Amino acid sequence: MNEQMKKIKRVVLVQPNMKWMDWNWKTSWDIHPLNLCLLGAMIKSDYEVVIVDANLENHTQEQFKQAISDLRPDMVGLTLLTNEYSEVAHIGAKLIREVDPKIVTVLGGVYATVSYESIYDDSNFDYICVGEGEYSFPQLLKYLNGEGEFPREGFLGRREGEVREASKVVRTLIEDLDALPSPAWELVDYSCYTKRVGKITIDHPYTFPYTRLMTSRGCPVGCTFCEVEVISGGPFRYQSPERVIQELKLFKSQHGIKAFMLDDDNFFVNRKRVKVILKAMLEEKIDLEWKAHAVPVFHLDDEIVELMAKTGCRSVALAIESGSERVLKDVIRKPVKLDHVRHVCKKIKDVGMDLVANFIIGFPTETWTEIRQTFKFAEELEIDYSKFFIATPLEGTILHDMVMENNLMAAHSDTSGQMKDLNWSTSKILSDEWTMDDLTVLRGYEWERINFGTPERREKLAKMMGITEEELGKLRKDTFASVTANIVTNYNHENPNGKVDVDHHGDHRSLGAESYPGVKLDKGEPVSFGF
């Protein structure tokens, strides 16, 4: 039976401030509150809903407490989209408790869905939403108001009659995305999100005002490093082409949008649907500029690439991952063929779109030669901008299982599976082929050499990032600072009681690289590796 005495009338939905945990280039992003506005749309007819974006407003902890105190909510729902900054969710819940212990607290989002078992140890959260909450959250509210039973799916609670064992919670996945309402953007000043970005990045829109568009959920590919199946499931669920066009028209008419960025887990899974949407954009004269991120190269063909360019796509970021066929097939388990990559990259450039690509190094069993093959392949493709990431064993992924089962996690890492101490700029995976410092140094130098080797490349990248060449130079210098900083951090983790010799393996040059640019890593002047 529900013991909640006070009726839930006012619900405050919160995006905590990332800077409560740390300040660096990564915490300066602006997060469009799609999930909060969608939840708001689901409940606004029955409850008073207020959205507090402490991240956008850069609230101090005291300012956040004051905002909650002024609003006097009956319930506060917090969301967090990354485990990397998990601490801010706990800080937010603690601050709410300090304002009024009777406020019901709920945590949802990526962090809650991935790490609910460990989050449950924090009693500042009354409920934890696991999976997609658009239907289960309203059910929870009705339950708390004595108007229904505790949701059968999607929630962990703490009282009799509620799901109190983490192992028994059932994650929710919504099949019919067309049945969901449009997000209630009127709950925020949406212009604050459409006219700026929080940091200098190759991923920002070329034109403002812009929006971020999510037309589907889930990805069936099953890459070993990817959390998408844990977060939004393997089944691909999507809005109809008609709904997508309707949403684009609404953005244009209501918010004056001139550009959008695709945030789907994998927009290109269903090629037939993709072509219908792109052709409809032409027929309906949508006339919006757009960018596509993390595009699986194996889903692209010539027709799709040509349609993308015709509909206003200015930039494509391909998820290539590796220059080694073995690593792609046996370790990442991604159906990428290098010859197809070469063809698609050439096609993208031929139709006039900018080309960005993602690569990952440092997988279990990956050899030093295979790592260098990835850099060589990236150079061969003549990509406008190449991103290089270090493999991170995220909770719930096959990669994490590989690492834990084979005892390959670095000794100082959090081995509970929560990955709460991860610095995603350095490796946490052990190998006889390379060290963490090897990857840090190689990644930094090759990023610099491949992306910024000529005046022409530097000029184009400055334009793509919307900055001057002088600002680009500072970004490069600052980026290189954390090569040193990350090495120092690794050293302090591994050698807390004093210096020991650290072995390095191999030649820190990509195959075919003659030399590195003259970047001086003075001991007294650490430079930053900000990606």
Q: Are residues 18 and 84 in the same domain?
A: yes
Which residue reads 């990023």 in tokens? 447
Q: Is residue 242 in some structural domain?
A: yes
The CATH number linked to 268 is 3.80.30.20
Q: Is residue 31 in some structural domain?
A: yes
Q: Are residues 123 and 272 in the same domain?
A: no
Q: Is residue 312 in some structural domain?
A: yes
Q: Is residue 101 classed as helix, strand or coil in its secondary structure?
A: coil
pLDDT tens readout for residues 212-245: 999 999 999 999 999 999 999 889 999 999 999 9
Q: Are residues 149 and 223 in the same domain?
A: no
pLDDT tens readout for residues 398-436: 999 999 999 898 765 554 444 445 555 678 899 999 888
Query: In the chain, how many domains are there?
Result: 2
Q: Is residue 500 in some structural domain?
A: no
How confident is residue 527, by pLDDT bands cut at 50, 70 and 90? very low
Q: Is residue 32 in some structural domain?
A: yes
Q: Is residue 473 in some structural domain?
A: no
Please report the DSSP string for 435-494 in residue order.
-HHHHHHHHHHHHHHHHSSSHHHHHHHHHHHTS-HHHHHHHHHHHHHHHHHHHHHHHHHH
Neighbours of 478 (CB within 10 A): 14
Q: Are residues 20 and 127 in the same domain?
A: yes
Q: Is residue 164 in some structural domain?
A: yes
Which CA distances in Å does 228 have to 219, 331, 397, 421, 505? 7, 17, 9, 20, 33
Q: Are residues 234 and 132 in the same domain?
A: no
Q: Are residues 171 and 76 in the same domain?
A: yes
Q: Is residue 232 in some structural domain?
A: yes
Q: What is the pTM of this model?
A: 0.90
**Can you give the residue range of the structural domain that contains 205?**
200-423+446-464
Cβ atoms of residues 521 and 483 within 8 Å: yes
> If phi over 0 gives left and psi between -120 and 50 gives alpha, with beta otherwise, what is residue 440?
alpha
Which residue reads 């200015």 in tokens? 314
Q: Is residue 212 classed as helix, strand or coil in its secondary structure?
A: strand
Give the C-alpha separation, 192 to 32, whole Å.
9
How confident is residue 24, by pLDDT bands cut at 50, 70 and 90? low
